[in-house]
Amino acid sequence: MTADRVTRAAEFAALLRERRRAAALTQADLASRAGLAVRTVRDLERGRTTRPRRATAELLARALGLTGAGRAQLLAAARGGPFPLPADVTEADGVGGHEPAAPSGVPLPPPVPLVGREEELSRLTAAVVADHGAPVTLVGLAGVGKSALAVALGHRLVDRFPGGVAGVVIDEAGETADLLAAVSFVFGARDLAELAVRLAKRPALLLVDAVERDPVKVRAALARLPETIRVVGTGRAPLGLPNERVWPVPPLEVPPASATPDLAEVSRYPAVALFLERLARVRPEPLAADEVPRSEEH
């Protein structure tokens, strides 16, 4: 290992460790969120890995909730060069007239168990597969589960998109060019021109989270993407594109006010089932009968 590589590995290790601690996460927590082995995170923070894979760095940035400059900084440190990619792409990466390599892996966070959305996921999957070309935007209130539904969709459709399945998160910082650079990065390309070459014969799926943060930038970026990229967005409001398909994501069904205060009865409703599933993660003891509110308390 050269001195230069040792320095790069140490810089990335220090930055990753700093970001993880700032997010109040253990190495195990970060590994779980990113869908990586704990040993992978541990080796990265010890500087034992000189150059993390692109997909690994993207997963770590997403798991840490990094956007904008923070995300760009971590990705640049991982590659040891300027964001989005250094100038060391080989012929195997599609330079010099060779057939570009297909992106490896699925740079998405691992899917979380969906509660009460299974039928909706099946209908959404069929709609995305059947309605070729048109962007789909999942629209709903904050915290309703749009992102989880989109990630589950991406994992379900990975076999149908040989060009890869990847995602980006929108923030208010940056320009259209920054967003296009991020999209190119997650699909393993240096820039938009290389992305078009890579995906010329490989349909790909791009998930765009939080489109309401900068719809003008998103619309401008989507207009410049290769036609082989299918886009599924999430947001509190639609993008307003002429051919956009808006997919409402309503809140999960809750028990009616007339429901009996019986845990077995109310847990059949998706909103309650989700609450109990989340509660079980932090509290091993099940709810006692006197902890279930009576109908007049709803």
How many whole angstroms separate alpha carbon 210 and alpha carbon 65? Answer: 13
What integer pLDDT is reported at residue 126 of this predicted model? 92
226 pLDDT band (50/70/90 cuts)? Answer: very high
Cβ neighbors of 16 (< 8 A, separation 6 or more) are 41, 44, 45, 60, 74, 77
Contact 106, 164 (CB under 8 A): yes
CB 95 within 8 A of CB 191: no
What is the rounded CA–CA span in Å between residue 36 and residue 216? Answer: 34
How does the average pLDDT of the chain come out, rounded?
78
Instruction: Find the largest Cα–Cα distance for the chain.
Output: 72
Query: Which has more confidence, 163 or 266?
Result: 163
Per-residue pLDDT at 83? 33
pLDDT band at 292 (very low <50, low <70, confident <90, very high): low
Whose CA is closest to 203, among 159, 256, 141? 159
pTM: 0.60
pLDDT at 92: 29
User: Of all helices (H) and strands (E), which one includes residue 208?
Assistant: strand 204-209
Question: Most confidently modeled of 1-15, 30-44, 62-76?
Answer: 30-44
| pLDDT average, residue stretch 67-88 | 60
Question: Does the pLDDT of residue 297 top 70, yes or no?
Answer: no
Backbone phi, then psi, for 253, in 5-degree steps?
-65, 135
Decide which of 128 and 88 is more confident.
Answer: 128
Residue 81 pLDDT class (50, 70, 90 cuts): very low
Q: At what angle do helices 54-63 and 27-34 cross, to 10 degrees?
A: 110
pLDDT band of 229, cuts 50, 70, 90:
very high
Listed residue (18, 4, 121, 90) closest to 60, CA to CA? 18
From CA 255, how far away is CA 264, in angstroms rounded?
Answer: 12
pLDDT tens by residue, 153-169: 999 998 899 999 988 88
pLDDT over 80 (residue 103): no
Q: What is the DSSP letter of 251?
A: P
- The pair of three-digit structure tokens given for residue 133, joined into one six-digit string: 């070309």
Amino acid identity of residue 49, one-letter, is T
